[in-house]
Amino acid sequence: MDPTTFVLFGATGDLAKRKIYPALYNLFVRGKLPQPFSVIGLGRREWSDEFFRASVEQSLRKFSRSEANDAGLLHRFLQAFRYSVLDIGREEDYRKLLELVERREAELRMPPNRLFYLSVGPEYFETIAANIQSSGLGSANGWKRLVIEKPFGHDLASARELNRKLSESFAEEEIYRIDHYLGKPVVQRLESLQQANPVIQAMWTNRYISNVQITAAESVGVEERAGYYDHVGALRDMFQNHMLQLLMMTAIHLPHESSPEKVRFKKKRVMEALLPVLKEDVRLSVVRGQYAAGSIGGKPVVGYTSEPGIAPDSANDTFIAARLLIENNDWRGVPFYIRTGKRMKEKSTRIVVEFKEPVKQAATGKENGIAPNLLVIEIGPDESIKLRLNTKDAGPDGGFKPVQVELFESPKDSPEAYENLIGDALNGNATFFAHWDEVELSWQWVQPVLDAFAENLVPLHKYEAGSYGPAESAALLAQDGNCWWFDQ
């Protein structure tokens, strides 16, 4: 791994404390940080290096998965950290930053490989990227990378505009767009599940698969993010990015030898094959919901429009369910059902692949007590992959019963998404980052849905907090003779 300077914009922010410092520390503990390694934290506040290090240390004690109580180890880790005040719009601050970066590179005798991590609001992306370029920070004799967080645009047009601006300063191969769902350990295993198992690979088509269900349910509500969430909704917050990424990762077929380019190429092909939805038809395949009062785990909670900071007449979506169709030879006729929502019964992110019932079909079509085979991929908070098969009890009158075959269960202390992703970005491995093509194609699919919502062409269904969403979500699957698995 190349010696690297990690330049962090937004170093005093919440994401840095909760995710980025713990991720760096855990990589360090596992010997997976480059050597030498330099971190320059940037923020508006007037902090000293000491104060910055103390704040990083505090965040490790609070949020790191490996304990931060070995003083020697901590000291060695924190030695790499420096802080500089930066006003994002002030050019001279970038020149000061360049001096500091170069000074550290000289002290540590390292080449000018620089990773710029933008842990700031998207409204600052363009300005920062342009200033990195014009100050000379980005034109050194090493490599440069830009890591950015979602949201990438607010709709198709703004995403294109943002990309155009960023591409004036960074090439596509230098841009690492974080979608933290792609860093989740089970999502990262999806490709090897197919690659290492010809049985699964062979069955990964419309010949054997009846439908695919992707759920990201959350029991939390809007929390302290009313200002953000009420302008975004579930469609932009979860669906356009995380959910469509999960769809791509499920639907791709990978060759034995895979590479970032191949993965991205295949994902793009999936998105290109997604059947577009016309604005007028959105209501036929998309269910829009908003939570009403209810109870979660026995505790009463208020409805969305009674949450602090939310307008009492807000028509924002806190739940989306949709049926998507992939028009290619592998997936034609297999509905992909996706749903995500706040204030649902439980926190659970999972993919269920339901197989067809050849025995039933081959015989007379009569029920025979055989439940469909399912591949159940639990992404969080449980992390496992299980295959549900049927077995027959011994004896002449024995009936069928389902058994679970466990293919994978994540160890309790598996790396967090951010640890995986930051490690990959440092290594220059872009496999699990969102390429611009994917982002653009995702917005392309979502745009008519946004338009239909804006024009009120899709009813907004209230659902009780603590439920699995509005009844219309179950009805969407019932139209095809299917139902959501594991809702009870």
| Residues in binding site for substrate | 180, 184, 218, 237, 342, 347
Token digits of residue 481: 């003779």
CB nearer ligand BG6, residue 121 or residue 369? 121
Nearer to ligand BG6 (CB atom), residue 155 or residue 330: 155
Task: Give 394: exposed, middle or buried? Use CB within 10 Å, 0-12, 13-18, 19+.
Answer: exposed
Residue 215 CB, nearest distance to ligand BG6 (Å)? 11
Q: Which DSSP symbol is given to 194?
A: H
Residue type, 44: R
Task: Give residues with Cβ within 8 angstroms of 141, minimum separation 6.
Answer: 111, 112
Burial of 365 (0-12, 13-18, 19+ CB in 10 A): exposed
Judged by CB, which is closer to ligand BG6: 194, or 245?
245
According to DSSP, residue 17 is labeled I
322/477 Cα distance (integer angstroms): 9
For the four alpha carbons of 160, 161, 162 and 166, in that order, the dihedral sign comes to positive
The neighbouring-strand residues paired with 419 are none
Q: Is 242 a catalytic residue?
A: yes
Q: Angle 49-63/71-78 helices, nearest 10 degrees?
A: 130
Q: Judged by CB, which is closer to ligand BG6: 237, or 317?
A: 237
Shortest spacing between CB 18 and ligand BG6, in angstroms: 11
CB of 15 to ligand BG6, least distance (A): 11
In this complex, which beta carbon is closest to ligand BG6, that of residue 34 or of residue 221?
A: 221
Nearest residue by C-beta to ligand BG6?
237
Q: Cβ closer to ligand BG6: 180 or 388?
A: 180
**Helix (H), strand (E) at residue 176:** strand 175-177
In angstroms, what is the minimal distance from the CB of 320 to ligand BG6? 13
Separation of alpha carbons 282 and 290, rounded Å: 17
Q: How far is CA 31 from CA 26, 265, 430, in A?
A: 9, 32, 21
Contact 174, 138 (CB under 8 A): no
* Torsion sign across C-alpha atoms 320, 302, 62, 84: positive
Strands 319-324, 374-380: pairing kind = unpaired
Report the Cα–Cα distance between both ends of the chain, in Å, rounded: 48
Could you list the residues that contact ligand BG6 (CB under 6 A)? Answer: 180, 218, 237, 349, 380
- Report the binding-site residues: 10-17, 44, 87-88, 150, 180, 184, 218, 237, 342, 347
Smallest gap, in angstroms, from Cβ of residue 380 to ligand BG6?
Answer: 6
Sign of CA dihedral 160, 166, 170, 174: negative
Q: Taking the complex as a whole, how short is the minimal distance between the CB of residue 349 and ligand BG6, in angstroms? A: 5
The smaller minimum CB distance to ligand BG6, of residues 81 and 181, is found at 181
Q: What is the residue whose two structure tokens read 């974080």?
A: 178
Gyration radius of the chain's alpha carbons: 24
For the CB of residue 342, give the shortest distance to ligand BG6 in the complex, in Å.
7
Instruction: State the Cα–Cα distance between residues 348 and 242, nearest whole angstrom.
Output: 14
Please pick, among 231, 242, 253, 435, the residue that the annotation labels catalytic: 242
Active-site residue set: 242
